[in-house]
Amino acid sequence: MSITVLNAGLLTTVQDMGRVGYQQFGISVSGVIDPRAAATANILVGNAQEEAVLECTLLGPQLRFDAANTIALTGGDLGALLDGQPLPTYRAVAVQAGQTLRFQAPRTGCRAYLAFAGGLDIPLVMGSRSTDLKAKLGGFQGRPLKKDDVIR
How many CB atoms sit inside 10 A of residue 107's CB? 9
Amino acid at 145: L
Q: Phi/psi at 72 (nearest 5 deg)?
A: -145, 140
pLDDT value of position 26: 87
**What's 87's DSSP letter?**
P
Q: Which residues pair with 75 in a beta bridge?
A: 112
Per-residue pLDDT tens digits of the chain, which is 152 residues long: 699 999 999 999 999 999 999 999 888 999 999 999 999 999 999 999 999 999 999 999 999 999 999 999 999 999 999 999 999 999 999 999 999 999 999 999 999 999 999 999 999 999 999 999 999 999 999 999 999 999 99
Contact indicator for 68, 99 with CB cutoff of 8 Å: no
Distances (CA, A) of 117 to 58, 112, 140: 24, 17, 18
Kindly give, in sequence order, each residue whose CB lies less than 8 Å from that of residue 85, ignoring residues fewer than 6 positions away: none
In 34-99 the beta strands, taken as DSSP E runs, fall at 53-57, 62-65, 69-77, 80-82, 85-86, 92-95
pLDDT value of position 81: 98
Contact indicator for 122, 143 with CB cutoff of 8 Å: no
Contact indicator for 75, 42 with CB cutoff of 8 Å: no
